[in-house]
Amino acid sequence: MVSTILPLKLENVELRRGGRRILGPISLNLSGQGITIIMGPNGSGKTSLLRAMHGLERVRRGKVSWQSDIQTARAQQAFVFQTPIVMRRRVVDCIAYPLLLTGAARSVARKAAVEQAASVGLLDSVDLPAEVLSGGEKQKMALARALIRRPEVLFLDEPCANLDTKSMAEIEAILTAARDAGTRIVMSTHNVGQARRLADDVLFLWDGYLHEQGTKAQFFTATQTAEAKAHINGDLIP
Amino acid sequence: MKLGAMLLSLSLLTPAAVGAEEMKMAVTTSFANSGLAEVLLPQIEADTGITVQLLIVGTGQALKLGEAGDVDAVLVHARAAEEAFVAAGHATHRREIMYNDFIIVGPSEDPAKAGAAETAAASLAAIAQAEATFVSRGDDSGTHKTEMALWNAAGVEPVGDWYKAVGAGMGAALNTASGLNAYILSDRASWLNFGNKGALALVFEGDPALFNQYAYLPVNPANHPHVKASAAATLETWLTSDTAKALIEGYTIDGQRLFTFNAVPQ
Amino acid sequence: MNDILRGLAEAGQLVVTADADLVEITARSLQVSLGATIIASAIGLPFGAWLAVNRFRMRRTVIALLNALMGLPPVVVGLIVYVLFSRSGPLGVFGLLFTPTVMVIAQVIIITPIIASIAHQAIRELWADYHDLLISLNTTRGQRIKALLWDGRRALLTASLAGFGRAIGEVGAIMIVGGNIDHATRVLTTAIALETGKGDFALALALGFVLIALAIAVNLALHMLTRTEKDSRW
């Protein structure tokens, strides 16, 4: 798909909490296609960066701007949280919810939700209350919900952090399929292997700064900084 | 049964469309507890077509409702307060209807020897002397005003742990007296009709000072034009009629007559 | 103890014979208290939700005030409503004093803070859960409140039932503004007060047992209609 909202530009974006700097200043430019993986040790600001890009954090220092107006931009994004946020409804109603928000008829939305559920392997669970799903199933449901409006940009915050291997594999498959269908994906992970499997390009954060970035090939085989190298190796960074 | 109740409640929502006229009268708890109203009201409706809605409150509140124009007539038993009420222009006049008497009730063993006194005032003085527990209405009602007049006559100021002012209606005060096994001034009708006598018994009666006059006060339409003045006048005529006299004097509890009719024709 | 047993027996007898007076005052009790609960819920539930979702400067004060209003003594509310609707008062022209309507008004004033307060607490917790998701989905304020009210409906039902419980057992306010007039404004609680005052404890207790049974019946009916606890996980 041709993007109407990219490129996303961050200019000297800085986030502070309680007087402490937790992110930035960071400047970057997000455009093109494929999957961008955000990597870095815990506390390096991965979640903060994702939330700032998506608009979940109020950015007081610096600027976040999309190519289009803010309303169009908001409508064309989706976010998957590390711990899936599950509404107290049936699975099919959870997945259909974003469509109902844009004014779709209930029957139309429900039908689309069932198809989406099938595409993530949850067809058998559509009528169950969402709370009874397992962790992996909940995350797949969240993914189905995020994709149902065919967003141009999809953000994910360590989506497989608490999941078993099988679920992780299933989710990675869904993500690559979405990427192939044209969705621009920005995802954080602390699993280096997953990063290798999925990344088209990498943003490496350290201590709240954008420490290194590059294409997959550049980052993994021609790593420049010591910290990035240590992280890829699985060493504790000094 | 629930369905029946639902249907009944729906019918209650619609205003009463029957040809009867309604008026509101504030009466005292002493009058209501006597049970006389249950005898009079149906006959009033049959004879005059008026449905009298009774608000059963203390004397003070009854007069306040009359003053505010929230009721059409008042029936109380506190002469001084009634005369002040008329003088202030809240009622057009005061019409005496009937009287009953007060009695002193107390523990059946009568430890204060209140029953042996010559007068009601002396009886109360004996109770004060013995510091026996005494329950007072304490609510500025007709009964309470009579009680205070008696203390006055006895030259006693009732203060102390033994004197319990409850600030409640006749029935509630009798309940408290029963619970405390205390002395109390009550109207005869309320006492005879009272269902929780416990160990209490009638201790003193008969003094003319215990005479309890009920009077009818129609609310002044000059102050409150919306008041149902003609219905109030019709009711007054009925209450002072021979029919009323027969019903009032024919009303007994345990064979005892409670009220004496003493209305004079106008 | 004797009185309680006699009360139970008399309650049974009144119910089985469908005593006309009992049916009348029970119907009126339901009319007044259910009516008040419905109106108070219509005001209190959305207000509680709105309060949970909106951030404004006076918010903490409003919440504290709301919680304090839960402790409004009903008899004080009754007095104020009486003064307002008395013929000598500002709203006297409507002629509502001593009618079931003014009893509903008084009870609405008493129970709306309770309903709003409980609703606010429930919605606030749900909002904390849903916050990031609803912001991410670019919902409008109206859409957020709708989602919270719908998904939180069980807790909101509890809020309404708490209001109903308070209303059906209330006697101070409706005694003053209703006047406990026989066949006009007498309900279960005011009848109980009257019979207690007459010393007829057995009848008062009987009416009390009917009142308790009524409250239980309403609660059960609502829970069955909304199928709560049907597929609980534990």
Residue of C nearest to A154 (CA): C136
Quote the percentage of chain C above a pLDDT of 70.
97
- Mean pLDDT over residues C74-98, rounded? 93
Closest CA to C98 of C184, C195, C26: C184
Tell me which of B6 and C80 has the higher pLDDT: C80
Residue of C nearest to A88 (CA): C151
The whole-angstrom separation of Cα C207 and Cα C189 is 8
Contact criterion met (CB < 8 Å) for A98 and C130: no
C19 has pLDDT over 90: no
- B193 and B142: one domain? yes
- B218 and B90: one domain? yes
Closest CA to C159 of C43, C44, C50: C44
Split into its structural domains, chain B has a count of 2
Which token pair is A135? 């962790």
- Mean pLDDT over residues C29-44, rounded? 96
C12 touches chain B (CB under 8 A): no
B164 part of a folded domain: yes
Q: Residue B5: pLDDT band by 50, 70, 90 thresholds?
A: low
B11 part of a folded domain: no
| Interface contacts B/C by beta carbons within 8 Å | 86
- How far, rounded to the nearest angstrom, does the alpha carbon of residue C223 sit from its chain's CA centroid? 16
Question: Is the torsion defined by CA of B200, B203, B208, B209 positive or negative?
Answer: negative
CATH code assigned at C126 = 1.10.3720.10
CATH code assigned at B95 = 3.40.190.10
Contact criterion met (CB < 8 Å) for C133 and A87: yes
Q: Are C5 and C136 in contact (CB under 8 A)?
A: no
- For chain A, how far is it from start to end, CA to CA, in angstroms? 43
Sequential pLDDT tens for chain A (238 residues):
567 888 999 999 999 988 899 998 999 999 888 999 999 998 899 999 999 999 999 898 999 999 988 888 999 999 999 999 999 999 999 999 999 999 999 999 999 999 999 999 899 999 999 999 998 999 999 999 999 999 999 999 999 988 889 889 999 999 999 999 999 999 999 899 999 999 999 999 999 999 999 999 999 998 899 889 989 988 877 6
DSSP conformational letter for C54: -
C229 part of a folded domain: no
Do C and A make contact, counting contact as 3+ CB pairs within 8 angstroms? yes
Closest CA to B259 of B213, B217, B218: B213
C229 touches chain A (CB under 8 A): no
Give the gap in angstroms from C-alpha B101 to the nearest C-alpha of chain C: 19
| Interface contacts A/C by beta carbons within 8 Å | 36
B156 touches chain C (CB under 8 A): no
B13 part of a folded domain: no
- B118 and B240: one domain? no
- B151 and B166: one domain? yes
The angle at the Cα of A112, spanning A110 to A117, to the nearest 5 degrees, equals 90
Q: For all residues of chain A together, what is the average pLDDT?
A: 92
ipTM score for this prediction:
0.91
C233 part of a folded domain: no
Q: Residue C231: pLDDT band by 50, 70, 90 thresholds?
A: low
B116 part of a folded domain: yes
C115 part of a folded domain: yes
Q: Are C192 and C208 in contact (CB under 8 A)?
A: yes
Of B177, B192, B210, which residue constitutes the final position of a domain? Answer: B210
Closest CA to A137 of A98, A91, A178: A91
Say if residue A7 is preceded by a cis peptide, omega within 30 of 0. yes
pLDDT tens-digit series, residues A188-209: 998 999 999 999 999 999 999 9
Of B210, B229, B251, which residue constitutes the final position of a domain? Answer: B210
The whole-angstrom separation of Cα B23 and Cα A82 is 72
Residue B258 confidence (pLDDT): 87
Q: Are B13 and C38 in contact (CB under 8 A)?
A: no
- B139 and B156: one domain? yes
C98 touches chain B (CB under 8 A): yes
3-state helix, strand, coil in chain A (%, to 5): 40, 25, 35
Query: Which residues span the domain enclosing B49?
Result: 21-99+211-261
For the structural domain made of A8-85+153-233, what CATH number should be given? 3.40.50.300
C15 touches chain B (CB under 8 A): yes
Split into its structural domains, chain C has a count of 1
- B106 and B205: one domain? yes
C41 part of a folded domain: yes
Selecting from C24, C88, C199 the residue whose C-beta is nearest the C-beta of B174 gives C199
- Mean pLDDT over residues C126-151, rounded? 92
Selecting from B8, B24, B196 the residue whose C-beta is nearest the C-beta of C199 gives B196
The whole-angstrom separation of Cα C179 and Cα C73 is 18
B residues 93-152 closer than 8 Å to C (CB): none
Which long-range contacts link B64-67 to residues 24+ away (Cβ below 8 Å)? Answer: B65/B26, B66/B26, B66/B90, B66/B91, B66/B217, B66/B219, B67/C88
Q: Half-sphere exposure of C68 toward its Cβ, with a 13 Å CA cutoff?
A: 6
Q: Residue B172: pLDDT band by 50, 70, 90 thresholds?
A: confident
Give the gap in angstroms from C-alpha C101 to the nearest C-alpha of chain B: 10
C143 touches chain A (CB under 8 A): yes
pLDDT tens-digit series, residues B65-107: 999 999 999 999 989 899 999 999 999 999 999 998 999 999 9
Please tell me the pTM assigned to this model.
Answer: 0.80
The whole-angstrom separation of Cα A188 and Cα A198 is 11
Query: Which residues span the domain enclosing C19?
Result: 2-224
Residue A163, Cβ neighbours under 10 Å: how many? 20
**Domains in chain A: boundaries:** 8-85+153-233
Closest CA to C173 of C85, C92, C114, C94: C85
C234 part of a folded domain: no
